[in-house]
Amino acid sequence: MIITDNLTKKYGGHLALDRLNLQVKEGEIYCLLGANGAGKTTTINLLLGFLEPSSGSAFINQVNVKENAQATKKFLAYIPENLMLYPSLTALENLDYFSGIAGKKLGQDELRNYLSEAGLQEEAFGRRISTYSKGMRQKVGIAIALAKHAKVLLLDEPTSGLDPQASHEFGRLLRQLSNLGVATLMATHDLFRAKEVATKIGIMKNGQLKREFYANEISLAELEETYLGLMQPKAAAL
Ligand SMILES: Nc1ncnc2c1ncn2[C@@H]1O[C@H](COP(=O)(O)OP(=O)(O)OP(=O)(O)O)[C@@H](O)[C@H]1O
């Protein structure tokens, strides 16, 4: 479970995140939308413990990230826009390495099973990551999350640059993880994918969460209308 409690971040005098309160429960997929500079990446970096909050708190499975970032790591998997894997190692070797860091020593069959579950074609398992497409690398990221038995998944624009089919496939994998009880927070610009994959959607502007709804309570057209309406300069004071 992910909780932020009045989470606030200032960079110098600039208020990048302003008293954010959100909750992502077990099995929920929360998509965070917002224009460039809205505060999405700042939120994720605070949850990862990469940044310290100016005030307020972030919790991963009841653990306060600021107080014990290290303890939250065992629950967490993180897939950024460009996942850092070792390019000269194969998918099997990368998965072996990253699950080893997470304290799981897995046999070859287990490694292969996780890569299969993540939707990677078997012919690719032994190929170097440097030969992979972005969609394939993201699948290795999902395999790492699966192998780690992550309880919380943080994603920062993971589908940007993926073709529609790869993006759809990625969404399917996220739902699979959510069925396993993983709490997922995904920052994205993709309204369509958010509507397709999310259980809950939040729209941020200027560091504030302006709207929040359950994805099944709003149509894609309504979501787009609400989003565009909020992005109008006159809506800044909302
Ligand atoms: N290290 C930093 N130093 C100063 N200001 C920063 C820093 N990182 C982010 N900001 C500012 O904080 C605000 C929020 O940025 P953030 O990257 O969280 O937005 P975002 O919603 O993720 O945007 P994008 O969609 O472009 O990724 C922006 O105004 C940005 O310029």
Q: For residue range 91-103, what is the model confidence (pLDDT) as tens digits?
A: 999 999 999 988 8
Q: How far is the CA of 101 from the centre of ligand 1 (A)?
A: 30
Query: 171-189: buried (b, 16+ CB within 10 Å) or exposed (e) per residue?
Result: bebbeebbeeebbbbbbbe
Which residue from 7, 10, 14 has its CB within 8 A of the most atoms of ligand 1, so it is best to mutate?
Answer: 14
Q: How far is the CA of 54 from the centre of ligand 1 (A)?
A: 15
* Distance in angstroms (rounded) separating the CA atoms of residues 76 and 224: 31
Atom 19 of ligand 1 has which residue's CA nearest to it? 37
Q: What is the mean pLDDT of residues 17-22?
A: 98
Instruction: Tell me which of 10, 11, 208 to substitute to probe ligand 1's pocket, judged by most ligand atoms within 8 Å of the beta carbon.
Output: 11
Boundary-marking domain end, from 150, 165, 184: 150
Contacts of 129 by beta carbon, 8 Å cutoff, 6+ apart: 85, 86, 87, 88, 89, 90, 91, 94, 137, 140
Q: How far is the CA of 170 from the centre of ligand 1 (A)?
A: 25
Residues 129 and 230 in one domain: no
Looking at the structure, do residues 129 and 59 belong to the same domain, yes or no? no
In a domain, 212, yes or no: yes
Res. 232: pLDDT tops 90: no
Residue 138 belongs to a domain: yes
CATH value at residue 29: 3.40.50.300
- Are residues 161 and 229 both part of a single domain? yes
- Considering 17-31, 67-81, 145-159, the range whose residues carry the highest mean pLDDT is 17-31
Q: Is residue 201 part of a domain?
A: yes
Going by alpha carbons, the residue nearest to atom 5 of ligand 1 is: 11
Q: Look at residue 205 and tell me if it is in a domain.
A: yes
Q: Looking at the structure, do residues 22 and 132 belong to the same domain, yes or no?
A: no
Averaged over 121-148, what is the pLDDT?
94
* Pocket-forming residues, ligand 1, beta carbon under 6 Å: 11, 14, 16, 34, 36-42
Domain count, the chain: 2
Let me know if residue 175 belongs to a domain.
Answer: yes
Question: Six-digit token pair at 72?
Answer: 């939250």
Domain co-membership, 146 together with 190: no
pLDDT at 60 over 80: yes
Q: What is the mean pLDDT of residues 10-23?
A: 96
State the chain's mean pLDDT as an integer: 93
Are residues 178 and 143 both part of a single domain?
no
ipTM of the complex, rounded to two decimals: 0.96
Same domain, 95 and 136: yes
Together in a domain, 161 and 144: no
In this structure, which residue's CA is closest to atom 11 in ligand 1? 16
Residue 238 has pLDDT above 80, yes or no: no
Q: What is the Å distance from ligand 1's center to 5 Cα?
A: 20
Indicate if 43 and 69 belong to the same structural domain.
yes
Same domain assignment for residues 132 and 167: no
The last residue of one of the domains, among 150, 182, 198, is: 150
Residue that is last in its domain, among 119, 150, 181: 150
Residue 81 is assigned to a structural domain of this protein: no
Report the separation in Å between the CA atom of 40 and the middle of ligand 1, taken as the mean of its atom positions.
8
Q: Is residue 80 part of a domain?
A: no
What residue's CA is closest to ligand 1, atom 12? Answer: 16
pLDDT at 235: 54
Range of the domain at 233: 2-75+151-237
Within-domain flag for 104: yes
- Mean pLDDT calculated for residue range 42-58: 97
State the distance from the centre of ligand 1 to the C-alpha of 83, rounded, in angstroms: 19
Q: Kindly tell me if the per-residue pLDDT of 237 is higher than 70.
A: no
161, 232: one domain: yes
Query: Same domain, yes or no, for 119 and 211?
Result: no
Give residue 81's pLDDT. 87
